[in-house]
Homo-oligomer: A and B are copies of this chain.
Amino acid sequence: MALIVQKYGGTSVGTAERIKNVARRVAKWKMQGHQLVVVVSAMSGETNRLIALANAIQASPDPRELDVMVSTGEQVTIGLLAMALKELGFKARSYTGGQVRILTDNAYNKARILSIDDQAMRADLDNDTIVIVAGFQGVDEQGNLTTLGRGGSDTTGVALAAALKADECQIYTDVDGVYTTDPRIVPEARRLETVTFEEMLEMASLGSKVLQIRSVEFAGKYKVKLRVLSSLGDPGEDEGSGTLITFEEGNPMEQAIISGIAFNRDEAKLTVLGVPDRPGIAYQILGPIAEANIDVDMIIQNVGHDGTTDFSFTVNRGDYARALAILEEVKSHISARAITGDNKICKVSAVGVGMRSHPGIASRMFRTLAEEGINIQMISTSEIKVSVVVDEKYLELAVRVLHKAYDLDKATV
């Protein structure tokens, strides 16, 4: 008997029929003797419908009140799934984030989980009851409703698995695992049986969209065994083994050098030109950005000349206008010559722990892109990835040629 946390996303619970399918899948695991905690998202389209309603009232909806509204999406799903399981004859009980007590900070719309009370859930599990928890939400110390931000249901799943010391956290989604890249762009893309935690982290942050980045960080921190599975097939059939996220690196000799090509078109870049090249300038630029709760992805500062330097970074495209306004505000304070930006860019990355022992990975990337006439605007590297920012229009082309350049369409030994 294992304690398993399963998470089902919006597509998996998009209609009453699909919720019944999820119930049958959960029932199958339950009948194998496992204890189950099931985290669900809002029915697909519901969160967008609620946000559109909010936008019809306020162009920039009040963050506290937005969380009050959008957290209802998951609340509807937990009630429906509990009903579907009871209809199948199982004991089930739904919990909102507040009812579990998933305590968060009070950063509305992007709250962070501080603690989880596992007592009520454990009592239910010991009593043979399937526990159903609303993803994406929590409460702060004062009882205000908070949400974890888009995709936060994955984080809820992993956090619950960590709090309950679950044997495995299964993320059910509309793909059957992690691929070498998006099969819609490269039909030859292959499913990876395993992917290391670090690679997954890079893949997620780079927009593979299989898992939310924070949930992978969480899983790594608490050593939660994380598996991505497909919920699209018939619940009675074997769902396969999906992709397991591992925390130990395999023998590099058995691995491809590069595991996959990730990309993200949801980015925008900002550049501060001609700031004095002195200590503290990065903080003076990024401090106000962080205070506005804008997440920064790539950060690049090149060596200066003439006592000044240029400073670039990327943000979510949705934060572009706000970030630009903040820079314009601090511009004179930091003695910058000018502020520029571009929100028609994308980021493409080659990811793989194998590249640590293989020099020349980055140069193969630059050569491949150059051969296609794709200009590189920014470059950023880490031990296990090389990322470039290019014009958005080259995204598909860049992904295709890189997937081929690293032989990702060929099976590994």
Copies of this chain in the oligomer: 2
B76 touches A69 (CB 8 A): yes
Collect the chain B residues with CB atoms within 8 Å of residue A84's CB. 57-58
Collect the chain B residues with CB atoms within 8 Å of residue A62's CB. 82-83, 86
A58 touches B83 (CB 8 A): yes
Q: Which of A20-61 contact B (CB under 8 A)?
A: 20, 50, 53-54, 56-58, 61
A98 to B96, CA, bound (A): 12
Collect the chain B residues with CB atoms within 8 Å of residue A20's CB. 57
Collect the chain B residues with CB atoms within 8 Å of residue A243's CB. none
Contact of A75 among B58, B64, B72 (CB under 8 A): B72
Interface residue count for A (Cβ, 8 Å)?
37
A69 touches B80 (CB 8 A): yes
**Which of A20, A80, A94, A143 is packed against the most chain B CB atoms within 10 Å?**
A80
| Contact flags A143-163 to B (C-beta < 8 A → 1, else 0) | 111000000000000000000
| Contact flags A77-91 to B (C-beta < 8 A → 1, else 0) | 011101110110000
Distance in Å from the Cβ of A290 to the closest Cβ of chain B? 25
B53 touches A65 (CB 8 A): no
Distance in Å from the Cβ of A47 to the closest Cβ of chain B? 12
A76 touches B50 (CB 8 A): yes
Q: Which of A66-114 contact B (CB under 8 A)?
A: 66-69, 71-72, 75-76, 78-80, 82-84, 86-87, 93-94, 96, 98-99
A94 to B143, CA, bound (A): 12
B50 touches A65 (CB 8 A): no
Contact of A57 among B58, B87, B94, B99 (CB under 8 A): B87
Collect the chain B residues with CB atoms within 8 Å of residue A94's CB. 64-65, 68
B53 touches A82 (CB 8 A): no
Of chain B, the residue at the smallest CB distance from A69 is B79
Of chain B, the residue at the smallest CB distance from A17 is B56
| A204 in the interface (beta carbon within 8 A) | no
Of chain B, the residue at the smallest CB distance from A70 is B79
Collect the chain B residues with CB atoms within 8 Å of residue A50's CB. 76
**Which of A68, A76, A82 is packed against the most chain B CB atoms within 10 Å?**
A68
Distance in Å from the Cβ of A296 to the closest Cβ of chain B? 28
| A405 in the interface (beta carbon within 8 A) | no
Collect the chain B residues with CB atoms within 8 Å of residue A65's CB. 78-80, 82-83, 86, 94
Collect the chain B residues with CB atoms within 8 Å of residue A96's CB. 68, 145
Distance in Å from the Cβ of A43 to the closest Cβ of chain B? 9
A54 to B86, CA, bound (A): 12
Of chain B, the residue at the smallest CB distance from A59 is B87
A139 to B151, CA, bound (A): 28
Distance in Å from the Cβ of A124 to the closest Cβ of chain B? 12
4 tightest A-B CB contacts, nearest first: A69-B79, A16-B56, A72-B72, A68-B79
What would 17 A/B residue contacts be, using CB atoms closer than 8 Å? A16-B53, A16-B57, A53-B76, A58-B84, A62-B82, A65-B79, A65-B94, A67-B79, A68-B75, A68-B79, A68-B82, A68-B94, A69-B79, A72-B72, A72-B76, A75-B75, A99-B143
